Amino acid sequence: MSSDANTKRAPAKPEQPYRMIFEQDVAVPVSDGLVLRANVFRPDAEGRFPVVMAQGVYGKDLHFEDGFKAQWDQLIAVYPDLCGNGSTGKYLRWETADPERWVPDGFVIVQVDSRGAGKSPGYLDPRSPREITDYYDAIEWAARQPWSNGRIGLLGISYYAVTQWRVATLQPPHLAAMCPWEGYVDYYRDSTHHGGILSSGFANYWWPKQCLAVQHGNAKSPHRERGTGRRINGDESLSEGKLEANRTDYIADILRHNLDSAWWRERTPVLSRIEVPLFSAGNWGGAGMHLRGNIEGYLGAGSKDKWLSLHAGKHWESFYLPEYVAMQKRFFNHFLRGDDNGWDKEPRVKLVIRDPRGDKFRTAAGFPPPDTRMERFYLDAVTGGLASASPSQEATASYEAMSEGVSFSTAPFERDTEFTGFVSAKLWVSSSTNDMDLFAVLRAFDERGQELVINGAHEASPVSRGWLRVSHRRLDADKSNANRVFHAHDEIEKLTPDEVYEIDVEIWPTTMVFPKGYRLVLTLMGKDFEFPGIAGRILHQHPGDRGRAEFLGTNRIFTGGGRASYLMLPAAYPATR
């Protein structure tokens, strides 16, 4: 953090909240001569104030409700005072802070349209190195403004969290703290290729509906500013040819780079380079999107001062709830304003523990919690069981890849049993073809045999999910450890049909209390798991990736004897089967 004149403390908080000044489309010059556009919300008072920023592709002038009506309605149902008690909701934007909740407390809120999106011209290339360089430049621009105290914080969900991890590795001199809320870290593993299998949602939904619709100069954009009726992506109207020339071919990029490579690594942060104070907030229900990244980011960041909070509920929900906004403000008040508010004494890890009877809360010194014990639950193809002892006899469970697969169940738990932390599976498998996609699902069933359907971050969710394309089975030995496995995803090793292979499957971290009488079930299949009658959103159905006969074979799971397959679960004391 710079020690120049811009780092003066903000004026003391007044007896009455600050009134707000709104400046729209403020010019933000960047290093290659392009000018981005930003909205600035600041106190109507003299002085220098801490700045909280976000930069992204979703359009700084698109109202949350206009762009994401279904999610807005769900948020209002949970938090009916979202547009009340201090906020009109006029400036609410998807996945960014509500200025009317922050400016009265003496913060400046800056929201920047990324290059090629909204009101910012240029080449639209989400998450590219150039976009992150622009973010660096925008942070340093904000630090120089007369209303800034030179201490810049970053805050936002999803895209607005992902870019935080990236720009922090560039170490902007005036970046003083960051709060990535439900935002992935590893672009390949966390987002687009789960276990090496292409996640089709980004190609089918995110790119056309959330990016191209707000591309700068797209005259066909359906989105308008409230009040003025102006397009939220600028007054310039570009031809289809110019629009295409002004953007990357995102879908082709993803399909072309099917293995982890330099292309992905230059879009993924080197976490050890992050040194600023960090408050990482993840969602247990975010398997397939953001959960893994918030945990990996917390563990890998080089920051001396770092905290992890793991919550439940919808992806966009917690960020706006008063108790979480209060946490965000305490964090930033401490590191951007220098308030001695006790944040530095907060437990480093805060966990919502999911329980079908009502969620619980506890803290820990680290993640996974120090009292966690990794326990093996062995699969038995004869009984369909999961138990502490490995079957003495080898057996095989077979299933057609596109069927509902095979399931293995614990006996009903004799008392309440909690699992919190990393999960993995060691499996012996074969396929009748030369490749195999494995979808691993952790499920919970009550004493009546009714399955628990969790209100996940993005969709109805089981306890957790894992994936592996078996031709990607090679591990990265340097990054794998006793708690979890890490696949290299840098080469393809096809299978010999019907030959047996020993593999490790990463299942995303989870927390769940299984009440007495509940059972844990592991389901293995060759397609996406979906609850009956509930369509999934995070799916793997792109024909360019999954539309080959090699993923339609007969798969086999071997158990017992010399081929003992098992599930590795993080048991909290006491763990009882």
- Res. 65: pLDDT tops 90: yes
Cβ-contact 87, 100 below 8 angstroms: yes
Give how far the C-alpha of residue 307 lies from the chain's centroid of Cα atoms, to the nearest Å.
16
Model confidence band, residue 1 (pLDDT cutoffs 50, 70, 90) = very low
255-304 confidence digits (pLDDT tens)? 999 999 999 999 999 999 999 999 999 999 988 888 999 999 999 999 99
CB-side neighbour CA atoms (13 Å) of 325: 17
Model confidence band, residue 7 (pLDDT cutoffs 50, 70, 90): very low
Q: Which fold has domain 5-181+197-257+316-346?
A: Rossmann fold (3.40.50)
Is the per-residue pLDDT at 15 higher than 70? no
**497's tokens:** 């049909």
Looking at residue 12, its pLDDT comes to 57
* C-alpha distance from residue 523 to each of 10, 346, 393, 439 (Å): 55, 39, 21, 8
Rounded distance between C-alpha atoms, residue 401 and residue 405, angstroms:
7
Please check whether the two domains, 5-181+197-257+316-346 and 372-572, share a CATH topology: no
CA proximity to 542, closest of 148, 64, 200: 200
Nearest one of 465, 478, 453, 444 to 540, comparing CA atoms: 465
Query: Looking at residue 35, what is its pLDDT?
Result: 98
Place of tokens 């990607």: 472
Spatial contact of 120 and 112, defined as CB atoms under 8 Å apart: yes
Q: Is the pLDDT of residue 489 over 50?
A: yes
Which segments of 89-148 does DSSP mark as H helices, in order?
A: 99-102, 129-144
Largest CA distance in the chain: 78
User: Does the structure show a pLDDT above 50 at 440?
Assistant: yes
Grouping H, G, I as helix, E, B as strand and the rest as coil, residue 69 is helix
CB 112 within 8 A of CB 55: yes
Q: Which of 13-17, 464-468, 544-548 has the lowest mean pLDDT?
A: 13-17
Query: H or E stretch including 282?
Result: strand 278-283
Q: Which CATH architecture has domain 372-572?
A: Sandwich (2.60)
Of residues 233, 181, 202, 209, the one with CA closest to residue 60:
233
Residue 577 has pLDDT above 60, yes or no: no
Amino acid at 490: D
Angle at the Cα of 285 (from 369 to 194), degrees rounded to 5? 95
Distance CA 283, CA 306 (A): 17
Identify whether the C-beta of residue 281 lies closer than 8 Å to the C-beta of residue 317: no
Answer whether residue 322 shows pLDDT above 90.
Answer: yes
For 536-552, what is the mean pLDDT? 93
Amino acid symbol at 486 = F
Cα–Cα distance, 191 to 288 (Å, whole number): 7
Q: Are 190 and 95 in contact (CB under 8 A)?
A: no
**What mean pLDDT comes out for the span 149-157?**
98
Sorting pLDDT into bands at 50, 70 and 90, what band is 68? Answer: very high
Is the pLDDT at 424 greater than 80? The verdict is: yes
Instruction: Tell me how far apart the alpha carbons of residues 240 and 59 are, in angstroms, rounded to a whole number.
Output: 20
Mean pLDDT of 390-395: 97
User: Which pTM was predicted?
Assistant: 0.94
Q: Which helix (H) or strand (E) holds 352?
A: strand 349-353
Output the pLDDT for position 537.
85
Report the amino acid identity of residue 178: M
Q: What is the 3-state secondary structure (H, E, C) of 155-210?
A: EEECHHHHHHHHHHHCCCCCEEEEEEECCCCCHHHHHHEECCEECCHHHHHHHHHH
Mean pLDDT of the chain: 94
Bigger pLDDT: 574 vs 285:
285
Domain-by-domain residue ranges, the chain?
5-181+197-257+316-346, 372-572
Of 10, 35, 186, which Cα lies nearest the Cα of 102? 10
Distance in angstroms (rounded) separating the CA atoms of residues 522 and 543: 27
The rounded percent of the chain whose pLDDT value lies above 70 is 96
Residue 3 has pLDDT above 70, yes or no: no
pLDDT for position 8: 52
Q: Write phi, then psi, for 344 (nearest 5 degrees).
A: -65, -15
Q: How confident is the model at residue 558 (pLDDT cuts 50, 70, 90)?
A: very high
Over residues 348-369, the pLDDT tens digits come to 999 999 999 999 999 999 999 9
Among 281, 267, 301, 289, smallest CA distance to 184 is for 289
The yes-or-no verdict on residue 2 having pLDDT over 50 is no
Mean pLDDT over 112-141 rounds to: 98
Q: What are phi and psi of 4, to 5 degrees?
A: -75, -175
